[in-house]
Amino acid sequence: MKAEFKRMALDKIKGALLCVFVMQNEGAPIKGYDKEFKAHNFEGKLEQVVHLCTTGKERFDHLLVVGLGEKKDFRLDNFRKAAGVATRYASILKQKEFTIYVPEGNETAQAITEGALLASYKFTHYKTEEKDKFQIEKVYLMSEKDLSRGVGLGTIYAGAQNYARDLDEHPANIATPTAIAKEAKVLAKEKNLHITIYEKKALQKMKMKAILAVARGSEEPPILVKLEYNKGRNYPLYCIVGKGITFDSGGISLKPSKGMHEMKYDKTGAINVLGVMKAVAELKLPIRLIGLMPLTENLPSGNAQKPGDIIKAYNGKTIEVLNTDAEGRLILADALSFAAEQKPKAIIDMATLTGAILVCLGRHAAGLFSNDDKLANILEEAGDETHERVWRLPVWKEYSEMMKSDFADIKNISEQGEAGSITAAAFLQEFIGDTKWVHLDIAGVGNINEKHAYLSKGATGIGVRLVTKALVKLSEKK
C-alpha cells in the first residue's frame, strides 16, 4: 500500500471510505452522527470502532470513526494504533483505496502514516489462492494544512520496517546467508551504498574464527556483509551490527523441538541492519554509516563445534564454548571487534540474543545495555518517540567477572544460571574496546503471536525505526 498526501478541508473530502479519529467522549469532527454514536455505544475508547453508512447524505459512502482513548492517557502511538485499526477495517471491507483525515501537525501525520502502512503489510509470498492476496493499494492522508513532510517521513520509516519484516519472514531454506548477501547487493545498488562481501576464504584469512566456529555444523557457507553509506565523506562515522543466524537449532546443545520453527527469526538483527541502511539512505542523513551483518546457520553435525571447544576471536581473545546454543554472541564477537577497528563514534548492535530478556521484559520492550550514558539516553528517547521502547539494564564489573573462564579468557555463558541477558551483554562488551556502544537485545520483540493494532503475527521489524531515529538524533548533535 502507498500513502499519498492531499491538501483538502474535511467538508470537501469525498470517496468510498473516510476514516476520522476522536478522543474519548469528545465526539466526531463531523456533525450529525450523535444518535448513531449513541446507538452503537461508541465512546471513543482507544481502538473502539464505529462504521456508519452515510446513505447518500455525504460526499463519502462510509464513515469509519476510531477512538483515540482518554486525553489524559494520550500518546503519539495512539495515532498509529488508530490508523492500524482503520487500515485493517478497510481491508475487511475490501477497499482498494480509503482516506484518513489527519487532525493536526506533521508528527501526527507521520505517526498515522506509519500505523497505516505497518498495518497494511501482509506476507503472501507463499500463498497460492487469490483470496489470500488482497492488498489495499492506497491510503490518502488529508488535511487543511500541508502535512506532506510528515507523510513522507512516515513512508520512509514504515517502508524500511516493512522491508525488514518481509525479508525476515522468509524461511531458512530460502533466506540462506548467500541469499541475504544477494539482497544486500540489490539494496546497495538501489541506494548507492558501498558493499563488501567477505566469504568463507576471506573470513579464514581475516581470522574471524568465532564466525567460522559457529558455521562448522552447516553446509551453508558463512558470510560477513559490510555496507557503507557515504563512504569516504567527511561526516561522523557510526556502526550498526546485527546478529544474522539464519537458522538456530542450538547446534550440539540442541534446542527443544517445540517452537524451533521460529528460529528462522534469529537473523532479525542482521535484517534490521538492512532496514536501517535503507532508511538512512532515503533520509540522506549527514553521517557515515557502516552496517555489518555476520550470517551463518547454527546446526549440529559431525563437524560442528562442541561444548568445551576453545576458539580465538578476531580481536585475539580466547573463548571457551560451554554451550553451542549461545552462538549469536560468538558471531557478534568477531563483527563487533571488526566494527571497533573502524574507529566509529559509536556502535549500536541489534540481536535476538537471549530468551532471558523475554522473561525480564516480556514483549513490550527491548533490553538496552551500554557503556555510555549519553548514547543510552539517545536510544531511550528514540524508543519513546517511535514506541519501540527500550529498558536499560546494568553491565557492572561483577557481571564481567561471571564470564571469566578457567581455561580461556572468557566463556560464552555463565555457569551460575543467573542474569542471562546481562552476562551476554558483558560478554559482548569484551569486543568493543573503548568505543561507545549500545547493545539491543530484541529477542522479546522481534516477532509476535498476539493481537496488535498495527503489527501482524510474525516478524515485527522492531528496531528499524528505533535505531534510525537514534541516528537522526546523533546526526543533529554538533
Q: Is 349 exposed, middle or buried (0-12, 13-18, 19+ CB in 10 A)?
A: buried
Determine contact, residues 98/51, Cβ cutoff 8 Å: no
Pairing of strands 60-67, 15-22: parallel
Please give the positions annotated as active site.
Answer: 255, 329
44: left (phi over 0), alpha (psi -120 to 50) or beta: left
Determine contact, residues 389/364, Cβ cutoff 8 Å: yes
CA distances from 56 to 52, 59, 90, 343 (A): 12, 7, 19, 65
Distance in angstroms (rounded) separating the CA atoms of residues 21 and 24: 10
Cell of 12: 470537501
Under DSSP, is residue 214 helix (H, G, I), strand (E, B) or coil? helix
Residue 373 one-letter amino acid: D
Distance in angstroms (rounded) separating the CA atoms of residues 285 and 72: 35
Distance in angstroms (rounded) separating the CA atoms of residues 198 and 193: 16
Output the CA torsion sign for 275, 224, 324, 415.
negative
The end-to-end CA distance of the chain, in Å, is 37
Determine contact, residues 246/167, Cβ cutoff 8 Å: no
Determine contact, residues 325/250, Cβ cutoff 8 Å: yes
The torsion angles phi and psi of 232, rounded to 5 degrees, stand at: 80, -5
Under DSSP, is residue 163 helix (H, G, I), strand (E, B) or coil? helix
Cell of 190: 538501489
Give the CA radius of gyration of the chain: 24
Cell of 108: 501526527
Determine contact, residues 58/98, Cβ cutoff 8 Å: no
Distance in angstroms (rounded) separating the CA atoms of residues 266 and 446: 9
H helices within 226-348, ranges in order? 268-283, 328-341
Determine contact, residues 95/17, Cβ cutoff 8 Å: yes
